[in-house]
């Protein structure tokens, strides 16, 4: 099967409330959708949505790069050796040095196109042992007084894990909040913490002493200077998870971070499906838990993350609760989120099918 054409579309979706990121305030989510077309009428959708404050690439730059990449494969044969973490497509992209969100969007469209032509599902391409159901973690980032109440509701709704954002308050307030949230969750629900590199080593150690006795699954990126992560975890025993520290590293260098308990992988920031599969494979070999996480993608990108979590997550709750912040979506109907668990086949089908909403009136840019 050959690629016969493509379409590149820009979308803009409202958020339920403003999103405050590093140096940016977002009131809407913007990005690009790529539609690859095959000679048999099959199509494959992908999403490229740089996240301001985290992605190195701007949306205009990503659009140009994505369009060039799509144009370069028109007329090329899509065969079985394209797919896989070390397939022909991955090897072709490795030296191209594409922006991470561009590689994610392009690979996703190509993998979805191949799946459509072969009558298989995206999860089946990712792993022969793909799970039918994926657990998800809830996300708490609201006011101090609301978080314990929301945590209790999430426990009652069947969540296996909940992530709490810390680092935006004085350390002593974060300590009190963590204790209140853990009490609301009880011992049956895992508590994940994410500091987004908010603290000095001294502040992080003060926080660790304050929550002593509270069982947490991991503390994600506590330090402004990540060079001190190993010192931190060996000093206090609190397990850490890597997120921002994963950007730009090769899977082979992950062994230098064996102190980490988990790697939180956002494919649109790390550079696509094949790179995440390699990183997850290396992490698992080192005894480090791989966790799939989102960066405010639409239903197209989020469905792909469900497929990845089903294939490599080993039953570990995935971090996809950012989807609730989208007031609209490009797919109809919306994905069945937020939820404590999702059915993989139905969710992936929703995200790889008809794309309808949030597009600009004249959004087809090229192709």
pLDDT of residue 142: 76
Do 84 and 186 belong to one domain? no
Q: Residue 44 belongs to what domain range?
A: 3-121
Same domain for 145 and 108: no
Give the per-residue pLDDT at 213.
Answer: 96
pLDDT score of 313 more than 80: no
**Do 107 and 141 have their domain in common?**
no
Residues 182 and 101 grouped into a single domain: no
Owner of token pair 């042992």:
129
What sign has the CA pseudo-torsion 156, 162, 168, 170? positive
Whether 116 and 215 map to the same domain: the answer is no
Specify whether 219 is located in the same domain as 239. Answer: yes
Read off the pLDDT of residues 222-280 as tens digits, 9 standing for 90 and up.
999 999 999 999 999 999 999 999 998 999 999 999 999 999 999 999 999 999 999 99
pLDDT at residue 141, as a whole number:
81
* Among candidate residues 264, 260, 261, 262, the one with its CA nearest the CA of residue 276: 264
In a domain, 361, yes or no: no
Give yes or no for residue 365 having a pLDDT over 70. Answer: no
- Contact between 21 and 53 (Cβ < 8 Å): yes
The domain tally of the chain equals 2
- Quote the pLDDT of residue 367: 44
| Cα–Cα distance measured from residue 160 to residue 316, given in angstroms and rounded to the nearest whole number | 9
For residue 362, being part of any structural domain is answered with no
Please give the Cα distance from 153 to 204 (Å, whole number): 29
Q: What is the CATH number of the domain that holds 287?
A: 3.20.20.120
pTM comes to: 0.94
The answer to whether the CB of 262 falls within 8 A of the CB of 291 is yes
Are 61 and 149 found together in one domain?
no
Query: pLDDT tens-digit profile of 113-152?
Result: 999 999 999 999 999 999 999 999 999 987 888 999 999 9
pLDDT per residue over 161-207, tens digit each?
999 999 999 999 999 999 999 999 999 999 999 999 999 999 999 99
Element (H, E) at 192: strand 190-194
Residues 107 and 172 in one domain: no
Measured CA to CA, the distance from residue 100 to residue 248 in angstroms comes to: 9
Give the residue from 89, 121, 153 where a domain finishes: 121
pLDDT for residue 352 is more than 80:
no
Residues 211 and 330 in one domain: yes
For residue 329, is it within any domain?
yes
pLDDT for res 315: 87
Buried b (16+ CB within 10 A) or exposed e, 189-217: bbbbbbbbbbbebebbbbbbebbeeeebb
Whether residues 45 and 184 share a domain: the answer is: no
SS3 288: coil
Domain boundary among 96, 121, 146: 121
User: Rounded to an integer, what distance in angstroms lies between the CA atom of residue 257 and that of residue 242?
Assistant: 9
Q: Tell me the longest C-alpha to C-alpha distance in the chain.
A: 62
Residue identified by tokens 């992490």 is 283
Cis peptide before 338 (omega within 30 of 0): yes
Residue after which a domain boundary falls, among 64, 90, 121: 121
Beta strands 240-242; 218-220: pairing state: parallel
**158 and 190 co-located in one domain:** yes
């Amino acid at each position: 099967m050959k690629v016969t054409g493509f379409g590149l579309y820009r979308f803009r979706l409202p958020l339920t409330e403003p999103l405050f990121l590093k140096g940016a305030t977002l009131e809407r989510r913007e990005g690009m959708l790529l539609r690859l077309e095959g000679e048999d009428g099959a199509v494959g959708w992908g999403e490229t949505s740089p996240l301001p404050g985290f992605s190195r690439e701007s949306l205009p730059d990503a659009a140009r790069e994505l369009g060039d990449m799509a144009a370069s494969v028109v007329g090329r044969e899509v065969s079985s050796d394209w797919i896989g973490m070390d397939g022909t497509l991955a090897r072709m992209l490795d030296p191209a040095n594409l922006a991470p969100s561009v590689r994610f969007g392009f690979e996703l469209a190509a993998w979805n196109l191949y799946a459509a032509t072969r009558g298989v599902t995206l999860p089946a391409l990712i792993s022969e042992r793909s799970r039918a159901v994926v657990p998800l973690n809830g996300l708490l980032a609201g006011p101090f007084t609301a978080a314990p109440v929301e945590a209790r509701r999430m426990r009652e709704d069947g969540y296996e894990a909940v992530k709490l954002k810390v680092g935006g308050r004085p350390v002593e307030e974060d300590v009190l909040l963590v204790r209140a949230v853990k009490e609301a969750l009880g011992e049956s629900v895992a508590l994940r913490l994410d500091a987004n590199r908010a603290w000095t080593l001294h502040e992080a150690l003060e926080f660790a002493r304050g929550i002593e006795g509270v069982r947490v699954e991991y503390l994600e990126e506590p330090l402004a200077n990540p060079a001190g992560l190993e010192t931190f975890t060996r000093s206090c025993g609190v397990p850490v998870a890597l997120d921002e520290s994963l950007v730009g590293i090769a899977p082979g260098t992950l062994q230098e971070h064996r102190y980490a308990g988990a790697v939180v992988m956002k494919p649109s920031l790390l550079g696509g499906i094949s790179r995440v599969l390699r990183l997850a494979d290396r992490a698992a070999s080192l005894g480090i838990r791989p966790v799939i996480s989102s960066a405010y993608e639409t239903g197209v990108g989020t469905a792909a993350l469900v497929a990845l979590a089903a294939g490599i997550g080993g039953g570990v709750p995935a971090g996809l609760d950012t989807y609730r912040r989208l007031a609209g979506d490009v797919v109809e109907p919306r994905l069945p989120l937020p939820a404590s668990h999702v059915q993989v086949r139905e969710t992936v089908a929703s995200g790889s099918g008809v794309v309808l909403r949030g597009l600009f009136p004249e959004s087809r840019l090229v192709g």
